[in-house]
Structure 1
Amino acid sequence: MKTTALTPALAVAGLALWSGAHGMEMREPAFSRVIIDELEARDADEGTLAVWEAAAWYGGDIDKLYLSTEGERLMDQGGETESFETRLAWSHAFAPFWDWQLGARRDWQPDDPNRDWASLGVQGVAPYRFETDVNLFIGEDGLTQLRLETEYELLFTQRLILVPALEMNLAGKADDELNTGDGLMNLEAGLRLRYEVRREFAPYIGVNWERQFGDTASRTRDAGGEVEETTLVAGVRLWF
């Protein structure tokens, strides 16, 4: 797939990343952190899935470089990566507990050409301590996606924590190459109970529910696929 139409957007994102990193060295001390929010196994219909979601950043309180990755890999029958995404962004704080982010995303597709997107997002803590992440992705041929994610930590004790989470994905137009429709594509909701042996190490168990909607669901049904799935999960959360 050609990516020439994204070249200006990616160049602007790269310049912003470089400028932000250069400015951070001049203005404030830098620090770094890596959080593996989900590293888990799911008991899916097609077999056991290994699922990960992680983020890392480097910089100060105002400006930082932000890297995230998420994906799924089927562990049975020799293993196959079903989805793999990385995102690099310059993150700038515009209010207490809130950052806006400018960057780029790449989808590493096993059977199709890799796909690049420019990204613009907002990340922070909403009222009542809901962690919120909203991202607009702009791709080739007028393709756009909007992703909304939120989660909440309910403390039973200082170590035992229940985390409900919700993710919603919407598309501006149909994507025949990936066989997805416009409008609301899917919802994913999870409920995970973790125990913090230490703050940096917390095993958890839970349940995860996914469902497709609208034209995306119709396309999946026509292809003989399932549009809804509920899985049990077990994993660990790490940060350092």
Structure 2
Amino acid sequence: MMKSGMNLTLLALAALPLVSTWAQDPHAGHGGGPAPADARDPHAYSGGFTLDEGPYALPGPRQLRLADEHLFGGVLVDRLERVDAGAGHHWAYDTRAWIGRDYHRAVLKAEGDIEAGRLEESSTELLWSRALSSFWNTEFGVRYDTGHGPDQGWLALGVSGLAPYWFEVDATAYLGEQGQTALALEAEYELLLTQRLVLQPRVELSAYGKDDGARGQGRGLSELVAGARLRYEIDRQFAPYVGLEWAAALGNTADMVRAEGESTQEGRWVAGVRFWF
């Protein structure tokens, strides 16, 4: 016990010079204190040189630009396929194109069905997309539908992006003519079986705010489409695929389909290509 008390006393005596020094200059021993008289201004990091003046200036227009100052664009044909439902077949497409910068861009989405060489129905959206966070975008614009019943225009507002666990999600609310409202939700996931073989499950759900018999839109949940496509990426920009899909009409929409003497459920095989540039 006496030895322990003696050690503490020695440590206290050894620390006295350090405490005295710190009291006179709190920055002593920590690299602080006033800067030398000949120190360079820390804000003048370029030494007076700029992009336009000095020995390192490049001729012509400005040479260095940040990534979000460039204009980018792309086209993705996500689905271009033949759909075989047993009783017959048709062609379907789902594509999007965009142009803009990192935070703001214009987006064009188009999907539809072609039967007997004629456009049977289609949906086209022109949207303005703005980055909401690192993985999510907000989208606002217009949509125009043709095909089943009279043509219809919509205002669109939605979000799209990458959810946790790498699910790609697209959710959009619509306001149409005569106060009709709608909600569309799409989700898909890419499972890499190998470096080139990719399995892509996909689910699509739609709902409407009120009945519209002329267009086959029933109030509430309207249609569910679920399926999976297996593609082989010959390269990252071109991939043929095959798949199986199941579609079902729901709620009041199913009642309208039955009234027309048609089936409310349908299984179909698909085969097509996916490419982008």
Change over 3 Å in CA distance of 1:211–1:112 after alignment to 2: closer
The Cα shift of 1:46 comes to: 4.2
Name stretches of at least 5 consecutive residues in structure 1 with no aligned partner: 1-26
TM-score by length of 2: 0.74
Instruction: Map Cα deviations across residues 5-61 of structure 1 (whole Å, 9 max, x no partner).
Output: xxxxxxxxxxxxxxxxxxxxxx72110010000000011244211000000000111
Amino acid at match of 2:152: R
Match of 2:113 among 66, 72, 79: 72
Q: How does 1:174-189 map to 2 (within 5 A)?
A: 174-189=211-226
Q: After TM superposition, which residue ranges in structure 1, 4 or more long, deviate above 4 angstroms?
A: none
Q: Secondary structure at the match of 1:193?
A: strand
Root-mean-square deviation over aligned CA pairs:
1.2
Quick one: distance in 1 between partners of 2:194 and 2:109? Answer: 29
Quick one: distance in 2 between partners of 1:114 and 1:170? Answer: 18
Match of 1:119 among 150, 156, 161: 156
Please tell me whether residue 39 in structure 1 is matched to residue 77 in structure 2: no
Amino acid at match of 2:114: R
Higher relative contact order (CA 8 A, sep 6+): 1
- The question of whether the paired residues in 2 share the 8 Å contact of 1:47 and 1:74 is answered with no
Amino acid at match of 1:97: F
Quick one: distance in 1 between partners of 2:276 and 2:240? Answer: 12
Match of 1:167 among 197, 204, 218: 204
Quick one: distance in 2 between partners of 1:45 and 1:118? Answer: 36
Instruction: Map Cα deviations across residues 87-111 of structure 1 (whole Å, 9 max, x no partner).
Output: 00000001011100000000123x7
The Cα shift of 1:112 comes to: 4.3
The Cα shift of 1:222 comes to: 1.0
Match of 2:245 among 202, 208, 223: 208
Quick one: distance in 2 between partners of 1:46 and 1:71? Answer: 19
Aligned length: 210
Which structure would you say has the larger Rg? 2
Q: Secondary structure at the match of 2:214?
A: coil
2:131 counterpart residue number: 93
Q: Secondary structure at the match of 2:213?
A: coil
Quick one: distance in 2 between partners of 1:191 and 1:88? Answer: 27
1:105 counterpart residue number: 143
Quick one: distance in 2 between partners of 1:106 and 1:87? Answer: 6
Quick one: distance in 1 between partners of 2:146 and 2:174? Answer: 15
1:12 counterpart residue number: none
1:3 counterpart residue number: none
- The question of whether the paired residues in 1 share the 8 Å contact of 2:220 and 2:251 is answered with yes
After superposing the two structures, state which structure 1 stretch, 89-98 or 45-54, moved more.
45-54
- The question of whether the paired residues in 1 share the 8 Å contact of 2:150 and 2:215 is answered with no
- The question of whether the paired residues in 1 share the 8 Å contact of 2:169 and 2:185 is answered with yes
The structure whose residues are more often strand, as a share, is: 1
1:8 counterpart residue number: none
Name stretches of at least 5 consecutive residues in structure 2 with no aligned partner: 1-67
Q: Secondary structure at the match of 1:116?
A: strand
